[in-house]
């Protein structure tokens, strides 16, 4: 693979010409390293193929990290330690205790505080030379381009498909490279996307690999499927490494290659993929997002791409790799549902109803709201325990497993009285009874 020239990244600086509406693009000249920086980065400077030039390129770089969670935590720490000149952190969430087994940026005493702000403080304490900008809000399709425009490269550590597609489409429109990673249980994947190539073209992007998001509820997220805490530590650190490679022209980034990792087997595979020749592109060769992208999809789709099948343009490298496919929804009819306050009103009213909890027994021990426990794997063989003469509310942790099993029960057994609890027991804890533990 040809070495990528960091000058091809197309970074944009904000100056007088930009303020006047000009689309001028330029790169700041290296300003050199001061004595303190030379001491701090001495082990980088001693690398024959990196040295002072690579370090100065990092000092001039602007890296935006989307999500300061399991993937973002190690990525941010290593980017700051490496001496990236300016780092942006986009995350509107707050620190929660059940995430601390993998979100290593935070301390237990910081639970409840904003992630972006605390992450920024931690990075500044680690390396005072780095400028850090906290953006305590969620990225979505409406603000993605505005948030990304001023940065050289984006690391996507988000945990849901709407954000991933919003990041990808904004990077494609703006000509920005980005590094994607996702995790699920014991497996994860990583790749470099939309990187400027020596011939002026761009490498494949996320939609070349995954043209469309999976159907809502068909791919579990970390809260439902779980994740071994060290996994995002490995993949997030690797994301930082890919960003450094792209920014400095070091080695061979994972361009057109999807890295697949399985911690249980200790195996790492790569899957090669290419640009989809059938995708519509503009005069500059930039791909256009599909016409059916919608706010409805954004509002309902989440999960880990580690369990999602790449497009047919992807092909396995000689060592081989298999990715499990996602299943389509049972049918497309609207699903009856109710939110947590509506369930409380139902319970308080005295109206006959049944509440079924389809989580696992270990989850029930952590938190429960009085539902009848029928683990997901046992629901179909327990059909006779589900009433047909009243409203039946089915819940899980976040609402996805319950939605899936409701579809199956309706299709297979003809139930017409099932309601999904939107947001699951987590929504009940947040909106009705905060004494119910969040996990």
Active site residues: 222, 396
Q: Are 389 and 414 in contact (CB under 8 A)?
A: no
* Count of CB atoms situated within 10 Å of the CB of 169: 22
Q: Where are the beta strands (DSSP E) in 136-275?
A: 153-156, 178-184, 187-193, 257-262, 267-272
Structure token pair of residue 95: 């620190």
Decide: residue 333, CB within 10 A, 0-12 exposed, 13-18 middle, 19+ buried.
exposed
As a whole number of angstroms, the distance between CA 41 and CA 33 comes to 10
As a whole number of angstroms, the distance between CA 71 and CA 31 comes to 31
**Lookup result for tokens 């439902």:** 224
Q: Which of 351, 316, 317, 337 is nearest to 422 (CA)?
A: 337
90: helix, strand or coil: strand
Q: Which of 246, 313, 315 is nearest to 275 (CA)?
A: 313
Helix (H) / strand (E) element for 343: namely: helix 340-349
Instruction: Transcribe 128-165 into DSSP letters.
Output: TTSEEEEE-S---TTTHHHHHTT-SEEEE--SSHHHHH
As a whole number of angstroms, the distance between CA 111 and CA 97 comes to 6
Would you say the C-alpha torsion 414, 415, 419, 425 has a positive or negative sign? Answer: negative
DSSP 240: H
As a whole number of angstroms, the distance between CA 434 and CA 388 comes to 31
As a whole number of angstroms, the distance between CA 167 and CA 155 comes to 9
Distance of CA 162 to the CA centre of its chain: 9
As a whole number of angstroms, the distance between CA 399 and CA 339 comes to 10
DSSP 272: E
Q: Which of 26, 78, 83 is nearest to 52 (CA)?
A: 83
Q: Are strands 178-184 and 153-156 parallel, antiparallel or unpaired?
A: parallel
């Amino acid at each position: 693979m040809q070495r990528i020239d960091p000058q091809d990244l197309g970074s944009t600086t904000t100056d007088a010409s930009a303020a006047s509406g000009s689309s001028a693009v330029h790169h700041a000249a290296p300003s050199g390293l001061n004595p303190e920086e030379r001491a701090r980065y001495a082990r980088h400077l001693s690398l024959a193929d990196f040295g002072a030039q690579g370090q100065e390129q990092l000092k001039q770089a602007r890296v935006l990290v989307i999500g300061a969670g399991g993937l973002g935590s190690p990525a941010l720490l290593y980017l700051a330690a490496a001496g990236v000149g300016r780092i942006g952190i986009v995350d509107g969430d707050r620190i929660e205790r059940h995430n601390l087994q993998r979100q290593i940026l935070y301390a237990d005493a910081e639970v409840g505080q904003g992630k972006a702000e605390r992450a920024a403080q931690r990075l500044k304490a680690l390396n005072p030379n780095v400028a850090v900008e906290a953006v305590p809000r969620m990225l979505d399709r409406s603000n993605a381009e505005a948030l990304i425009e001023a940065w050289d490269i984006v690391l996507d550590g988000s945990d849901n498909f709407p954000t991933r597609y919003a990041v990808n489409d904004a990077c494609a429109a703006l000509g920005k490279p980005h590094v994607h990673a996702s995790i699920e249980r014991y497996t994860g994947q990583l790749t470099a996307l939309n990187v400027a190539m020596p011939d002026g073209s761009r490498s494949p992007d996320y939609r070349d690999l995954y043209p469309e998001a999976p159907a809502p509820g068909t791919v579990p997220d970390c809260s439902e499927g779980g994740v071994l805490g060290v996994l995002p530590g490995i993949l997030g650190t690797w994301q930082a490494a890919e960003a450094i490679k792209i920014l400095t022209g070091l080695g061979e980034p994972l361009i057109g290659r999807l890295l697949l990792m399985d911690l249980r087997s200790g195996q790492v595979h790569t899957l090669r993929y290419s640009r989809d020749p059938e995708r519509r592109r503009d005069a500059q060769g930039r791909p256009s997002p599909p016409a059916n992208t919608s706010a409805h999809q954004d509002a309902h789709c989440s999960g880990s791409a580690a369990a999602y099948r790449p497009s047919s343009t992807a092909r396995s490298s000689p060592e081989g790799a298999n990715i499990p496919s996602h299943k389509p929804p049972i049918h497309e009819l609207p699903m009856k549902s109710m939110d947590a306050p509506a369930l409380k009103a139902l319970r308080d009213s005295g109206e006959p109803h049944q509440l079924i909890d389809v989580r696992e027994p270990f989850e029930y021990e952590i938190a429960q709201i009085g539902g009848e426990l029928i683990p997901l794997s046992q629901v179909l063989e327990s059909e006779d325990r589900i009433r047909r003469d009243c409203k039946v509310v089915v819940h899980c942790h976040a609402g996805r497993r319950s939605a899936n099993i409701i579809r199956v029960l309706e299709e297979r057994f003809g139930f017409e009285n099932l309601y999904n609890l939107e947001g699951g027991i987590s929504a009940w804890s947040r909106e009705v009874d905060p004494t119910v533990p969040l996990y």
